[in-house]
């Protein structure tokens, strides 16, 4: 279905992955589920991009489509995924099986949600390293071992102990570290992490966040991570794409997202999360629930829950409008009203709204 | 414990412990924990997985018999009472489970789920009366219009709505204590606060005491704003204090480390937040707990000869703050001294 309308070479040099107007449907008995609708973003070299959204926002569907691991019932109905690697330029949607196999892991690796279930329980960690190496042109055992030692060292694990272990012998945090090491085995340019810290304890979460930060500094890969947890985005991301009902409703730098959000959903989401440091501010939930993705409401999909909505919002789905700076856009015709309310101070949204 | 009826707390765990026998050996999930609650309190038990918070909650709700110690309700030992007193306790204390996808029977409509306890406890004699009480309860938990929800099955409801049904079910017996085990962990972030507000409203309007068990300190802080937080680690209560005290100036090194480790939804704080360097990332197994203070192998303040030998007791440090730490009790190391400063603008740890 996906017809390349633009040449991959049109991707700017500093962009390593460009997603353009991507739409994905799932086919079900009730009809097509519009899980991802017209999502575009550029991932710059060395950058960390967070895709945040709640369950059903389409964030995981989007992520697994980037390496074309979507289930059979999913179809890309529109758009392009362009990879602009140092070694090659690829249009992911039109790759053949062999090219796709090589793209996965050596160019773009993925750490899946639920680290505990990503391993083969009857293989040792060493076997996992060896398997990966064999599947991608087999270097010698000594080379694989050297790489495994290096990577496990980087993620603060003892290779002697860990390589011999079976997955069940490792704690949740150790498994997540091993998966991160495995994802880096073939020196990919892009690493995608789906909910990298969900289901981990607080102290373990902290060590994984610090680890990802350090690896990014040391190795310079680009990173996309998917999360429902805003605080992980604040900790790790350079830029944030906020998703709602399958589409990107706001794209901005991390500071603009947290201090100067212009889409009412982003504002609502930020306000819904209490913090531990600082003032509690005016914390509040968003009323209502997300729409049915088979039968979307007319106009802006957030309008039924939006305190800023006017009649015009229900007529047509707004485009991404540039707000404040060229690097920041929001799918909201009322963004100027939101701006008036939220302002531009470097202060969390809940605190600002408590003061006003 | 004084037998003066006026002074005894509504519900109390007295030095309870609980062990489980597993094929690998006996584990002590909870060791010498005491909690006393009055009517209308909001309290949180916080800790990481394996700290014993759920076991403590289940003992508080009378679902698990303590291996040692007592559960007291209105001054009576629950596990030795029988008949009417026991029935009264069962009605007075209700549990709301973590997973609203598993805790509702998928074959029962909301009406079936809510009416069963109404009939069982004779709050309704016939269907008409049951519908009227159920309608009132659904209104109370914000599922409106109730008539629409009564006929629905769990699969037709969102996670948040299911959790509201669970709360409505708990309310059928006019409980005086609700133990909510991770009741908001599985619902979307955008609606968590409204569920916490619902529980807090029950406390304000009906004087229900609510114990929320959570791993999320930010949720605990919001929920127990005017109440207390107990922090558990490997089966022990390590600190028990007023919420603002715990958040602003924790006394136990574990609490300090935990608060410092929490990811913050504010990029500036995230970049500049100070951390506690633990001596080890390894959490000891419950099968082989370390001697002395269970936290000593990881604790930055640990003193050889003291912390690895003697188990610290939970003792009052000041008004509204109890802590189980030898060093904190002796010299009250302020949280600020445990934290290593990361200069503003430097986002990386030294590598």
Q: Are B311 and B321 in contact (CB under 8 A)?
A: no
Helix (H) or strand (E) holding B134, with range, is helix B127-140
CB contact under 8 A, B221 and A255: no
Residue A54 Cα to chain centre, angstroms: 12
CB contact under 8 A, A231 and B270: yes
Q: Are B250 and A237 in contact (CB under 8 A)?
A: no
Dihedral over alpha carbons A193, A41, A291, B171 (to 10 degrees) = 40
CB contact under 8 A, B264 and A346: no
For residues B328 and B312, give the distance between their C-alpha atoms in angstroms, rounded to a whole number: 10
For residues B340 and A301, give the distance between their C-alpha atoms in angstroms, rounded to a whole number: 46
From the list B188, B264, B281, the residue facing A234 with the nearest CB is B264
Asked if B228 is an interface residue toward chain A (Cβ–Cβ < 8 A), one would say no
ipTM of predicted assembly, 2 dp = 0.83
What pLDDT is stored for residue A277 in this prediction? 77
The CA–CA distances, whole Å, from A332 to A302, A328, A338 equal 10, 12, 9
Asked if A238 is an interface residue toward chain B (Cβ–Cβ < 8 A), one would say no
Full 3-state SS string of chain A: CCCCCCCHHHCCCCEEEEEEEEEEEEEECCEEEEEEEEEEEEEECCCEEEEECCCCCCHHHHHHHHCCCCCCCEEEEEEEEEEECCCCEEEHHHCCHHHHHHHHHHCEEEECCCHHHCCCCCCCHHHHHHHHHHHCCCCCHHHHHHHHHHHHHHCCCCHHHHHHCCHHHCCHHHHHHHHHHHHCCCCCCEEEEECCCCCCCHHHHHHHHHHHHHHHHHHCCEEEEEECCHHHHHHHCCEEEEEECCEEEEEEEHHHHHHCCCCHHHHHHHHCCCCCCCCCCCCCCCCCCCCCCCCCCCCCCCHHHCCCCCHHHHCCCCCCEEECEEEEEECCCCHHHHHHHHCCCCCCHHHHHHHC
* pLDDT of A173 higher than 80: yes
What pLDDT is stored for residue B100 in this prediction? 84
**What residue of A is the nearest CA neighbor of B346?**
A213
What pLDDT is stored for residue A200 in this prediction? 81
Q: Taking the CB of residue A215, how many other CB atoms lie within 10 A of it?
A: 21
Is the torsion defined by CA of B119, B60, B214, A205 positive or negative? negative
Helix (H) or strand (E) holding B205, with range, is helix B189-206
* pLDDT of A30 higher than 90: no
Q: Are B12 and B76 in contact (CB under 8 A)?
A: no
Confidence band of A16 (pLDDT split at 50, 70, 90):
very high
From the list B191, B218, B263, the residue facing A209 with the nearest CB is B263
From chain A residues 301-340, the ones with a CB under 8 A of any chain B CB are none
Which residues of chain A lie closer than 8 angstroms to B221, CB-CB?
A: 274, 276, 280
Asked if B97 is an interface residue toward chain A (Cβ–Cβ < 8 A), one would say no
User: Residue B156 — φ and ψ, nearest 5°?
Assistant: -90, 0
Asked if A127 is an interface residue toward chain B (Cβ–Cβ < 8 A), one would say no
Mean pLDDT, chain A, integer? 89
**What residue of B is the nearest CA neighbor of A233?**
B265
CB contact under 8 A, B264 and A204: no
Nearest to A31 by CA among A253, A293, A288: A293
Asked if B93 is an interface residue toward chain A (Cβ–Cβ < 8 A), one would say no
Domains of chain A listed by start with CATH number: 11-237 (3.40.50.300), 255-355 (no CATH)
Count of CB pairs separated by less than 8 Å, A with B: 132
Structure token digits, residue B263 = 């990811």
What pLDDT is stored for residue B346 in this prediction? 38
**What residue of B is the nearest CA neighbor of A273?**
B189
Confidence band of B280 (pLDDT split at 50, 70, 90):
confident
Asked if A143 is an interface residue toward chain B (Cβ–Cβ < 8 A), one would say no
Confidence band of B14 (pLDDT split at 50, 70, 90):
very high
From the list B49, B222, B225, the residue facing A201 with the nearest CB is B49
Asked if B347 is an interface residue toward chain A (Cβ–Cβ < 8 A), one would say yes
For residues B128 and B117, give the distance between their C-alpha atoms in angstroms, rounded to a whole number: 15
User: Residue B141 — φ and ψ, nearest 5°?
Assistant: -95, 10
Residue with the two structure tokens 């005016």: A282
CB contact set of B25 (below 8 Å; sequence gap of 6+): B287
Residue B307 Cα to chain centre, angstroms: 27
* pLDDT of A8 higher than 60: no
CA distance B257 to chain A (A): 8
Peptide bond into A259 cis (omega under 30): no
CB contact set of B64 (below 8 Å; sequence gap of 6+): B18, B55, B58
Taking the model in full, what pTM does it have?
0.87
For residues A105 and A221, give the distance between their C-alpha atoms in angstroms, rounded to a whole number: 13
The CA–CA distances, whole Å, from A108 to A303, B116, B231 equal 36, 54, 41
From chain B residues 168-207, the ones with a CB under 8 A of any chain A CB are 188-195, 197
pLDDT tens track for A273-328: 888 877 777 888 898 888 888 889 999 999 999 999 999 999 999 999 999 999 99
CB contact under 8 A, B221 and A230: no
Helix axes A335-342, A264-271, angle to 10 degrees: 30
Which residues of chain A lie closer than 8 angstroms to B222, CB-CB?
A: 274, 280, 283
Which residues of chain B lie closer than 8 angstroms to A277, CB-CB?
A: 264, 266, 269, 273
CB contact under 8 A, A234 and B265: yes
pLDDT tens track for B123-178: 899 999 999 999 999 999 999 889 999 999 999 998 889 999 999 999 999 999 99
* pLDDT of A1 higher than 60: no
Which residues of chain A lie closer than 8 angstroms to B283, CB-CB?
A: 171
Which residues of chain B lie closer than 8 angstroms to A197, CB-CB?
A: 263
Domains of chain B listed by start with CATH number: 11-102+175-239 (3.40.50.300), 249-338 (no CATH)
What pLDDT is stored for residue B3 in this prediction? 40
């Amino acid at each position: 279905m996906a017809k390349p309308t633009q040449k991959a070479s049109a991707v700017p040099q500093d962009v390593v992955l460009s997603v353009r107007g991507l739409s994905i449907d799932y086919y079900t008995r009730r009809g097509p589920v519009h899980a991802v609708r017209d999502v575009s973003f550029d991932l710059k070299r060395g950058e960390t991009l967070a895709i945040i959204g709640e369950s059903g926002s389409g964030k995981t569907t989007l992520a697994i489509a980037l390496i074309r691991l979507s289930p059979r019932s999913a179809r890309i109905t529109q758009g392009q995924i362009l990879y602009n690697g140092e070694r090659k330029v690829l249009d992911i949607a039109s790759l053949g099986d062999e090219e796709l196999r090589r793209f996965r892991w050596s160019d773009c690796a993925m750490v899946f949600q639920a680290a505990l279930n990503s391993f083969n329980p009857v293989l040792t960690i060493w076997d996992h390293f060896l398997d990966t190496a064999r599947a991608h042109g087999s270097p010698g055992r000594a080379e694989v071992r050297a790489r495994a030692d290096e990577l496990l060292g980087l993620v603060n694990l003892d290779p002697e102990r860990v390589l011999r272990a079976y997955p069940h012998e490792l704690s949740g945090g150790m498994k997540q570290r091993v998966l991160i090491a495995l994802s880096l085995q073939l020196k990919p340019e892009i690493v995608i992490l789906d909910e990298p810290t969900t289901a981990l304890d607080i102290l373990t979460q902290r060590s994984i966040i610090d680890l990802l930060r350090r690896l990014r500094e040391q190795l310079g890969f680009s990173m996309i991570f998917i999360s429902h947890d805003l605080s992980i985005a604040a900790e790790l991301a350079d830029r944030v794409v906020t998703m709602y009902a399958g589409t990107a409703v706001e794209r901005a730098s991390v500071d603009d997202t947290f201090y100067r959000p212009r889409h009412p959903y982003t504002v609502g989401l930020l306000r819904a999360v209490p913090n531990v440091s600082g003032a509690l501010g005016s914390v509040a939930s968003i009323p209502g629930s997300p729409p049915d993705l088979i039968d979307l409401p007319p106009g802006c999909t957030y309008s039924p829950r939006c305190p800023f909505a006017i009649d015009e919002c229900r007529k047509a789905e707004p485009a991404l409008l540039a707000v404040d700076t060229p690097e920041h856009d929001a799918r909201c015709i009322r963004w100027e009203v939101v701006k008036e309310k939220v302002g531009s101070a470097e202060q969390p949204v809940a605190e600002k709204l408590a003061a006003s | 414990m004084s037998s003066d009826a006026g002074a005894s707390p509504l519900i109390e765990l007295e030095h309870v412990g609980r062990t489980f026998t597993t094929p690998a050996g006996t584990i002590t999930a909870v060791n010498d924990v005491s909690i006393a609650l009055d009517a209308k309190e909001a309290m949180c038990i916080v800790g990481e997985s394996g700290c014993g918070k759920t076991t403590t909650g289940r003992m508080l709700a009378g679902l698990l018999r303590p291996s040692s110690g007592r559960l007291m309700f209105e001054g009576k030992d629950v596990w030795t009472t029988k008949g009417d007193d026991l029935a009264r306790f069962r009605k007075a204390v209700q549990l709301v489970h973590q997973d609203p996808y598993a805790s509702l029977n998928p074959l029962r409509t909301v009406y079936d789920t809510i009416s069963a306890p109404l009939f069982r406890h004779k709050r309704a004699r016939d269907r008409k009366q049951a519908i009227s009480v159920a309608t009132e309860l659904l209104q109370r938990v914000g599922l409106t219009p109730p008539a629409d929800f009564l006929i629905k099955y769990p699969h037709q409801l969102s996670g948040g709505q299911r959790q509201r049904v669970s709360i409505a079910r708990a309310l059928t017996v006019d409980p005086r204590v609700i133990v909510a085990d991770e009741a908001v962990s599985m619902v979307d972030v955008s609606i968590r606060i409204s569920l916490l507000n619902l529980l807090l409203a029950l406390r304000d309007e009906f004087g229900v005491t609510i114990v929320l068990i959570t791993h999320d300190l930010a949720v605990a802080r919001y929920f127990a704003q005017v109440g207390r937080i107990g922090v558990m680690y490997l089966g022990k209560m390590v600190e028990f204090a007023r919420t603002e005290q715990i958040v602003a100036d924790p006394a136990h090194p574990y609490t300090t480390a935990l608060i410092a480790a929490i990811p913050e939804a504010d990029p500036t704080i995230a970049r500049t937040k100070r951390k506690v360097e633990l001596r080890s990332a390894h959490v000891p197994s419950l099968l082989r707990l370390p001697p002395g203070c269970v936290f000593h192998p990881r604790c930055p303040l640990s003193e050889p000869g003291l912390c690895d030998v003697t188990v610290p007791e939970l003792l009052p440090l000041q008004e509204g703050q109890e802590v189980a730490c030898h060093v904190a009790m002796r010299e009250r190391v302020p949280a600020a001294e445990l934290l290593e400063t990361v200069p503003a603008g430097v986002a990386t740890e030294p590598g």
